[in-house]
Amino acid sequence: MTAATEAVRIKLGNVLYLTDFSPTSDSALRYVRALAEKFEAKILVAHVIESPGYRFVPPEGWAVVENAAEDAARRQLEALHAQLAGIPHETVLRRGEVWQEATHLVEDLDVQLIVVGTHGRTGLRRFLMGSVAEEIFRRAHCPVLTVGPGVLKDGQVPRTARIVVATDFGSASMEAIPCTLMLAELQDARVSLLHVIKSPSPERNPEQLRSEAEDKLRASITQQQKSRIAEAVVRFGDPAEEICRYARENKADLLVLGLRSAEYRLAFATHVSRATAHAVVCSAPCPVLALMR
């Protein structure tokens, strides 16, 4: 029996799908469906209504605005309910701050994975829900799958045949490697290991640095895991740009990052800054799975 066949028997549990009903959320939904069907997961479709801005609304109109927002959200959740017919799911409508409500849902409903769409922007509105979704990504204690715009064209079926895991040799990103290889076994996929050297010191020979990094990449896998490795690659340049460029050149289906969640800092353990991690998520040509440590 193949690994791909065995994977069908594995249950993922509860997947929290956060939506703002945008086109990017629609794109993420197709990945949620694929996960639910392959790993027998239950989808928790959640939308959080935040307090609207009342700058141009007189106090006597606040209730009208809130009721209208709730009615619109319920209609859109009903439409998603119809789209997910035949797949175990439930819809959740909450009021409050998105990251707080998402945290409550993760804890109360034993969520194993959060899926969210991204607009692919940088700056103040990095994620589909702006800085609020950034909080979710930073504070999550479970894996987060982000799906950017243009990742999936209409009519395409999500697949995971080629996975890229980027590591800086810090503890968080190194721990992502065996997790990625396990996922590859379940998906019958091949894995590329990638390390980016940002700026070699003048005292070090670049080729020596490359050789040392390649040795570290090879040392991170066992003999049994080698059959899943497509290649181990070392590149020089800006980490975010090179990670995304490599994923694009090799038509990656999934990019995996190991991130630290300690002190609520979204970052790799060493040279990849918080801004760089955001840039990868926003610019990646494929979904990005962030594994929190």
> Domain span at residue 43?
3-147
Give the pLDDT confidence score for residue 3 in this predicted structure: 41
Domain boundary among 117, 147, 177: 147
Q: How confident is the model at residue 6 (pLDDT cuts 50, 70, 90)?
A: very low
- Within a domain: residue 288? yes
Lowest mean pLDDT among 101-105, 124-128, 215-219, 248-252: 124-128
CA angle 145, 151, 155 (to 5 degrees): 115
Contact (CB, 8 A) for 292 and 144: yes
d(CA 114, CA 116): 7
Give CB contacts under 8 A, 24+ apart, made by 204-212.
206/236, 209/234, 210/234, 210/236
In tens, the pLDDT along 138-164 reads: 677 888 898 876 676 655 668 889 999
Give the pLDDT confidence score for residue 272 in this predicted structure: 45
- Within a domain: residue 83? yes
In tens, the pLDDT along 242-256 reads: 999 999 999 999 999
Instruction: Tell me what the mean pLDDT of segment 33-48 comes to.
Output: 92
pTM (2 decimals)? 0.84
Both 190 and 133 in a single domain?
no
Both 177 and 257 in a single domain?
yes
- Within a domain: residue 226? yes
Both 133 and 225 in a single domain?
no
Which residue from 173, 194, 185, 195 is spatially nearest to 227, judged by alpha carbons?
185
Total structural domains within the chain: 2
Q: Is the dihedral of CA 64, 68, 69, 70 positive or negative?
A: positive
Instruction: Tell me what the mean pLDDT of segment 197-215 comes to.
Output: 87
Domain boundary among 118, 147, 176: 147
Q: Looking at the predicted structure, is the pLDDT value of residue 83 above 70?
A: yes
Domain boundary among 147, 171, 201: 147
Both 50 and 133 in a single domain?
yes
Both 41 and 104 in a single domain?
yes
Residue % of the chain over a pLDDT of 70: 76
Give the pLDDT confidence score for residue 138 in this predicted structure: 66
- Within a domain: residue 49? yes
What's phi and psi for 271, nearest 5 deg?
-85, -10
Both 175 and 108 in a single domain?
no
In tens, the pLDDT along 95-122 reads: 888 888 888 999 999 999 999 887 654 4
d(CA 52, CA 69): 9
- H/E stretch holding 62 reads helix 62-83
- Within a domain: residue 156? no
Contacts of 252 (CB under 8 A, 6+ apart): 162, 163, 164, 192, 246, 285, 286
CA-to-CA separations, 41 to 11, 34, 165, in angstroms, rounded? 6, 10, 24
Both 208 and 172 in a single domain?
yes
Both 205 and 133 in a single domain?
no
Give the pLDDT confidence score for residue 9 in this predicted structure: 47
Both 115 and 179 in a single domain?
no
d(CA 136, CA 268): 17
Give the pLDDT confidence score for residue 27 in this predicted structure: 85
- Within a domain: residue 189? yes
Instruction: Tell me what the mean pLDDT of segment 7-22 comes to.
Output: 78
Both 139 and 175 in a single domain?
no
- Within a domain: residue 153? no
Both 91 and 34 in a single domain?
yes
Q: Looking at the predicted structure, is the pLDDT value of residue 184 above 60?
A: yes
- Of 11 and 107, the structure prediction assigns the larger pLDDT to 107
Lowest mean pLDDT among 194-203, 226-235, 262-271: 262-271
CATH number of residue 51's parent domain: 3.40.50.620
Give the pLDDT confidence score for residue 125 in this predicted structure: 41
Which residue from 55, 291, 18 is spatially nearest to 129, judged by alpha carbons?
18
Other CB atoms within a 10 A radius of the CB of residue 140 amount to 23
Q: Are strands 111-117 and 190-197 parallel, antiparallel or unpaired?
A: unpaired
Both 182 and 286 in a single domain?
yes
- H/E stretch holding 49 reads strand 42-49
Give the pLDDT confidence score for residue 128 in this predicted structure: 45
Give me the helix-helix angle, 274-283 and 239-249, nearest 10°: 20
Q: 270 is written with which tokens?
A: 């060493």
- Within a domain: residue 88? yes
